[in-house]
Amino acid sequence: MAKKAVVLVSGGLDSSTVLAIANQQGFECYTLSFDYGQRHRSELVAAQTISDAMRVKQHKVVSLDLATIGGSALTDTNIKVPEHETSGIPITYVPARNTVFLSIALGWAEVLGADDIFVGVNAVDYSGYPDCRPDYIAAFEQMANLATKAGVEGNKLTIHAPLIKMTKGQIIRLGIEYGVDYSATVSCYQAAADGTACGVCDSCRLRKQGFLEAGVKDPTRYQNST
């Protein structure tokens, strides 16, 4: 019987590639997304489309009102999404987001009896986000093994972050090899309701560069493109 894995999917390029990797490794995949007050809700549609395309066992969307605690341009409508980030920790950083998402994934893994959680964090493009670094993932895994029934009963819970040291171009090449349809994914920080991208935010810029680096035609649907 295939081992179960919980895979965090945002509908974006990175997490869709991670799902393809988990599939390729033979896991029975359960995908988890969050309705957390993000501006770009079309990513939830993309997460469902990608989950269906990759024939996951189940896709769940957990509602979580992170906008209540504020602090990020991605959930707080009083903060404008900048076209270019300055140095340091970006304003698009959602406080403790990966920790919150991984924690809920941990809870679902416990319910399912899964010992594996996949997450698409990346330390190359998101060097300004503290919760995208290898040390952080290792510390979360250690905590998780103390937090849960599985850990207490001796099962080892593993947090897989297969993209953590890959460039965007490497991620895209691997995803294409595994059959990911990137035209269905949404990365833009301010995507329109139909999933079209602004083309100018940091996330769009990184994505564009990735397709260039990978030497692959960019299938992204941009706003106002003719």
The residues binding its own copies (CB under 8 A) are 60-66, 68-71, 89, 93-100, 102-104, 106-108, 110-111, 130-131, 133, 135-136, 139-140, 142-144, 146-149, 151-152
Dist. CA 127–CA 42, nearest whole Å: 25
Provide, rounded to whole angstroms, the least separation between the CB of residue 153 and its own copies: 9
Dist. CA 8–CA 218, nearest whole Å: 24
Cβ–Cβ under 8 Å, residues 21 and 31: no
Nearer to its own copies, 151 or 175 (CB): 151
Q: How many residues comprise the chain?
A: 226
Provide, rounded to whole angstroms, the least separation between the CB of residue 174 and its own copies: 27
Nearer to its own copies, 1 or 146 (CB): 146
Provide, rounded to whole angstroms, the least separation between the CB of residue 86 and its own copies: 14
Nearer to its own copies, 6 or 22 (CB): 6
Provide, rounded to whole angstroms, the least separation between the CB of residue 107 and its own copies: 3
Nearer to its own copies, 60 or 156 (CB): 60
Cβ–Cβ under 8 Å, residues 202 and 85: yes
Nearer to its own copies, 21 or 56 (CB): 56
Residue 187: which residues within 8 A CB-CB, separation 6 or more?
12, 13, 197, 203, 204, 206, 207, 220
Q: Which of 206, 214, 215 is nearest to 171 (CA)?
A: 214
Cβ–Cβ under 8 Å, residues 112 and 6: yes
Provide, rounded to whole angstroms, the least separation between the CB of residue 57 and its own copies: 14
